[in-house]
Structure 1
Amino acid sequence: MMKASVELRDKREARLRQQLRDTPMRPLPLFQLTGWTHFVDEEVNPPVLAAGTSPTEDRKTDEQAIAYHRHLRMVPTGAMTHMQKTVVEAVHRNSGSREGLMDHVIDGPAGTGKTCLLRAIGRTAQQEIEVATNGRQPNTIPVVHITTPADPEPRVNWIWEIGSYLGLNPEPKSLTEVLEMRRHQDVTLSVNYVLETAQTRLLLVDDIDRSSPQQLANVLPYFDYLRDKLGISLIFCGTGASHLLHQARILAQDLTRVSAENRVRLEQAGRPADPVSPSPTALLPVTWLHPLPLGPKAEEQEMFRRVLASFEADLSLYRLEENALSKHAAQLHQLTGGYFKALTYVISTAAVIAIHSGSENITEKELKAATAQLGPWQPAAGER
């Protein structure tokens, strides 16, 4: 049985490695150990443009250049860099403590870069752990990255996500087995054993906004076990994540509340039966991400233009003009609202259009085409 499981796991990992070669930016492999390790190690370099040369005709169909610009990296802001450093330091602090370990939350509106920050934190934490241990050690898994299960109601489904990342869940051998599956198996003991022996230090939980407070409350005792027994730091990420966790903590406390007899004894002794406000759950460290502002303040305008300049530096186009994006800062902010997700989409799409058309530059024409689905292009005040 063990031999068969290992063979199935090896086949799956070989398939994943092939997928990573074919489509390296697919999201699925990041939730499995092979894909996450590839993400930690990868260095995405722009296609080299020979100095003093012009693009050849086959440049318009250059899959390497097109694929690179389809997946522009999330450029860091000063605030995001500070947040990343703060959370990574908290992870290291938890790793050296026996008591008082704290979870962390990344919250904010959709499209502000929360998932990118979560993964950047995980990658940085793993890289620093590996440096401290003189390189990657065999049979160690410093970081585990999961998403909220499709059905977050049963606790076993959350643990199945961890087991899937670790390669522990048995893979169906046939379509018949897939169709016969009604629920996930409980792999809790196997997961606990691997997390402990592999010295896992950090668990990233993304998209918790797909769960309700009650569904989250069902699994919080298990996450508490991972933190308190195994010393694993947890980072939860999602829109409204802080509110969800506060509500789930209240519900989880209801499930483990002191008995009525103990409550009476506490009240008779003049001691509170429940924590006084603010509750310890209100002290949960939260990292907030907001859309990038572009207001009248000089520092706000400077920050947005710095972000655009960082995007420009990542572009690999033959005829890209200086300040190609910065000169359209007002229009780009109006169309995207300063949301990283929309901004990345517009710039990435405009770059691909520039390659396909042969212009090799991002002008108002490319930006108009890229933003056609977002709304009408508004000329700058001086252009009206």
Structure 2
Amino acid sequence: MKATVELRNQRETRLRQQMRDTPMRPLPLFQLTGWNHCVDEEVEVPVRAKDSVPDAGRRTDEQAIAYHRHLRMVATDAMAHVQETVVAAVHRNSGSREGLMDHVIDGPPGTGKSCLLRAVGRTAQREIEAGTGGRQADRIPVVHITTPADPESKVNWIWEIASFLGLQPEPKSMAEVLEMRRNHDLTLPVNYILEKTQTRLLLIDDINRATPQQLANVLPYFDYLRDKMGISLIFCGTGAGEILHQARALAWDLTRVSQENRQRLEHAGQHAELISSSPKALLPVTWLHPLPMDSGDQEVFHRVLASFETDLSLYRLEENALSKHAAVLHKHTGGYFKALTYVISTAAVHAIRSGSENITLKEINAAAAQLV
């Protein structure tokens, strides 16, 4: 037992050092210490004295460059509405014995799905903790995992949850890391921890890395978590809605119907109808689109750019520096959040290093050239 505690402490220390060295890297988000750090994190714009000028070391100011390099992805009104809706559904599920439903976040790559998924998780955990008097050592309200590198086996999915919970032992040496070892089934300890810590939400990102058949293999386990422990599940990824719908059909066919019943349904000519008529509308799906920029809707894109302008911390940033180049920014990025964030943050870093301290077409075009 003592050795296990020591290994866990070593893991915690390593994670905290990673968060100090590279605070925005995704790895810690899939482990409890890093996730709690994300929930607590408040990203603030660096303070600059009014009417001040950049000093001689500004061009190499690592703190300012790091802030703009990791510029936050601002939320649209639609994303804020979806966040409120999903969090409300999580609270409803927590107060219901039956009728719990999964939720899906879907859309093309680069539209901010993972950002929304984590925003929902952060908001849900903050509200849960606020209602229980703050963070408690024996509570884990939210678990955040990604689809395993090899999603074929159910064991690998449970291993991801175990990793988040800190149940995986820390390797003692590189030799142990390189040693081929079979993943042990951690279902029982994972179930025990989730039940004991009253977990209420499971976030599953990058579901597009799994095929419907691979997901079907683990869906009965997720159903168990939902139906027995009341854990709400959110699946996120491009094509997630269709993948989950097909997986549900496969899981129902493979595990919910005995051979005898299946033969009886086939004989009655109803089997295919039951499978194909399973309504997708019963699966709540949030679809994220690229931001529009046309004659019918320009307001949303301009509001997003205005939010980015508020976040920028440049000495000579002109008023509406981004908004007045909205058409160019949309042309370069197609309205995709990921590309838009990259162009703006890269342009800001260029502005610092060049000494211009402003974002003009020069900085925008230079940043957009790196997208190719």
TM range (shorter): over 0.9
Rounded to whole Å, the distance in 1 between the matches of 2:241 and 2:116 is 16
Instruction: Classify 1:258/1:82 alpha carbon distance in 2 versus 1 (closer, same or farther; 3 Å).
Output: same
Rounded to whole Å, the distance in 2 between the matches of 1:257 and 1:37 is 37
Rounded to whole Å, the distance in 2 between the matches of 1:261 and 1:218 is 21
Query: Where does residue 90 of structure 1 map in the other structure?
Result: 89
2:341 is the alignment partner of 1:344: yes
Query: Where does residue 364 of structure 1 map in the other structure?
Result: 361
Decide whether the 8 Å contact of 1:249 with 1:281 is kept in 2: no
Residue-by-residue CA offset, 1:113-158 (whole Å, 9 max, x unaligned): 0000000000000000011112112210000000011111111110
Decide whether the 8 Å contact of 1:46 with 1:315 is kept in 2: yes
Q: Which amino acid aligns with 1:165?
A: F
Rounded to whole Å, the distance in 2 between the matches of 1:102 and 1:280 is 14
TM-score normalized with structure 2 length: 0.96
- Identity fraction in percent: 76
Instruction: Classify 1:196/1:115 alpha carbon distance in 2 versus 1 (closer, same or farther; 3 Å).
Output: same
2:322 is the alignment partner of 1:325: yes
Rounded to whole Å, the distance in 2 between the matches of 1:249 and 1:267 is 19
1:301-316 matched pairs, under 5 angstroms: 301-316=298-313
Query: Where does residue 378 of structure 1 map in the other structure?
Result: none
Displacement of 1:365 after TM fit? Answer: 1.1
Instruction: Classify 1:276/1:190 alpha carbon distance in 2 versus 1 (closer, same or farther; 3 Å).
Output: closer
Q: Which amino acid aligns with 1:365?
A: K
Query: Where does residue 221 of structure 2 map in the other structure?
Result: 222
Query: Where does residue 10 of structure 1 map in the other structure?
Result: 9
Structure 1 residue runs without a partner (length 5+):
376-384
Rounded to whole Å, the distance in 1 between the matches of 2:218 and 2:249 is 13
Residue-by-residue CA offset, 1:252-285 (whole Å, 9 max, x unaligned): 11212433433566689x8955647641555110
Secondary structure of 1:178's match? helix
Decide whether the 8 Å contact of 2:202 with 2:233 is kept in 1: yes
Displacement of 1:334 after TM fit? Answer: 0.7
Rounded to whole Å, the distance in 1 between the matches of 2:119 and 2:257 is 40
Instruction: Classify 1:101/1:256 alpha carbon distance in 2 versus 1 (closer, same or farther; 3 Å).
Output: same
2:115 is the alignment partner of 1:116: yes
2:371 is the alignment partner of 1:353: no
Displacement of 1:308 after TM fit? Answer: 0.5
Residue-by-residue CA offset, 1:35-85 (whole Å, 9 max, x unaligned): 000000011111111012100010111111111001111111110000100
Instruction: Classify 1:41/1:277 alpha carbon distance in 2 versus 1 (closer, same or farther; 3 Å).
Output: same
1:164-175 matched pairs, under 5 angstroms: 164-175=163-174
Secondary structure of 2:369's match? coil
Residue-by-residue CA offset, 1:168-219 (whole Å, 9 max, x unaligned): 0122222222222343221111100000000000000000101111111111
Rounded to whole Å, the distance in 1 between the matches of 2:216 and 2:281 is 16
2:145 is the alignment partner of 1:158: no
Decide whether the 8 Å contact of 1:156 with 1:186 is kept in 2: yes
1:135-284 matched pairs, under 5 angstroms: 135-263=134-262, 275=274, 278-280=277-279, 282-284=281-283
Q: Which amino acid aligns with 2:318?
A: E
Cα-Cα RMSD: 1.7
Residue-by-residue CA offset, 1:212-269 (whole Å, 9 max, x unaligned): 111111111110011001110000000000010011111111212433433566689x
TM-score normalized with structure 1 length: 0.93
Rounded to whole Å, the distance in 2 between the matches of 1:332 and 1:292 is 11
1:292-307 matched pairs, under 5 angstroms: 292-297=291-296, 300-307=297-304
Q: Which amino acid aligns with 2:38?
A: F
Displacement of 1:303 after TM fit? Answer: 1.2
Secondary structure of 2:67's match? helix
Rounded to whole Å, the distance in 1 between the matches of 2:218 and 2:262 is 26
Rounded to whole Å, the distance in 2 between the matches of 1:363 and 1:266 is 67
